Structure 1
């Protein structure tokens, strides 16, 4: 195996963004006259895109789905406003992320973002975090017709970077990341510090307790 490119999830993999997502979700609930939710509960709603997060947060129910009702649409607009006003109030890169990404970039590896976060948040967040310049391809949740766990986002990355499935490693913290990688036929690294519940995560090719362990794993493949 010769890895030439990496596809990274964003929330829960590169950045701890739950505090600001929770702040925006609770602000949308407050606008609607609803009580505030615990941050841990909102964390459990993250991973399937903003519409899903808003639907779940407004209903305080993991099983809720976004159906485009007037109330949900209004809540989504409120969430967008609050979140864009505070993308990095508390959101930070995990330890070792900036250095590792720069090292990979400097070594000539091609890097991509594959997130279910909408483009309207992804681009400004990467800029505010100071890491946007290292990525050759950015695939957000609304870039393509399908998003993770579908294979299409990773297939798109492979096409844009001109690499095969054997040459791409997906790095993420959720079941969606692993399922997308398996569907696309590429290897996958699971970061155990993220938001995915470990007991619900399918088996990955490697598990990383810290992001910088990625370099050690990469060196061991040579």
Structure 2
């Protein structure tokens, strides 16, 4: 079947949000009396939700996990305060994202966001970036019991839009996106310009070096 609907990851796929995530994480570290981390180091901690990011950033350790200690909860609250004050200080849409999304929308394709970012950040960020109204379904990291790489968020989006897995494409930059799509039985496009390490990414149906390549690839699927 032809693709009728899309699900898009947010950070690293539609928007380059690392500068503001790093700023907020470093502010939380500063509040705790810790030294600042390089932006590239914080980038490596992104992808598994805010709690995971905070645990890793506060410990400066990729292996750290969020266990709900008093210190982690305090750091998370501090991060929230800093990040909500500056969601788009330096965060921008990647080239071609705005025009391509609008073209897809105008052509009648149905669009969803499926992200591991919490709703408290997802909704205001989409609004500030000026693209929130293009999506009929928004699934955040805390919307359901499970998040990517579990299939549930994609299955939920498909159900809400009334499309089958054969008609659905996930677009993302991480291993979690590809694993979720495979678990849900739908096709997946990997964007190589994002935060995912291409060497660790399972095979996708297509790899895009630029977001605007999505339209030309779509033409080959009809």
Q: Does 1:99 find its partner at 2:112?
A: no
TM-score by length of 1: 1.00
Q: Does 1:21 find its partner at 2:21?
A: yes
Q: Does 1:191 find its partner at 2:174?
A: no
Q: Distance in 2 between matches of 1:211 and 1:156?
A: 24
Offset at 1:221? Answer: 1.1
Q: Distance in 2 between matches of 1:177 and 1:140?
A: 13
Alpha-carbon RMSD across the aligned residues, in angstroms, is 0.3
TM-score by length of 2: 1.00
Counterpart in 1 of 2:56? 56
Offset at 1:220? Answer: 1.1
Give a deviation string over 1:80-132, Cα, whole Å, max 9, x none.
00000000000000000000000000000000000000000000000000000
Runs of 5+ unmatched residues, structure 2: none
Counterpart in 2 of 1:70? 70
**1:218 match: secondary structure:** helix
Q: Does 1:6 find its partner at 2:6?
A: yes
Q: Distance in 2 between matches of 1:216 and 1:210?
A: 11
Equivalent runs, 1:70-219 vs 2, <5 Å = 70-219=70-219
Aligned residues: 222
Q: Distance in 2 between matches of 1:132 and 1:198?
A: 28
Q: Distance in 2 between matches of 1:196 and 1:215?
A: 22
Equivalent runs, 1:34-45 vs 2, <5 Å = 34-45=34-45
Q: Distance in 1 between matches of 2:157 and 2:120?
A: 19
* Regions of 4+ moved over 3 Å: none
Give a deviation string over 1:129-164, Cα, whole Å, max 9, x none.
000000010000000000000000000001000000
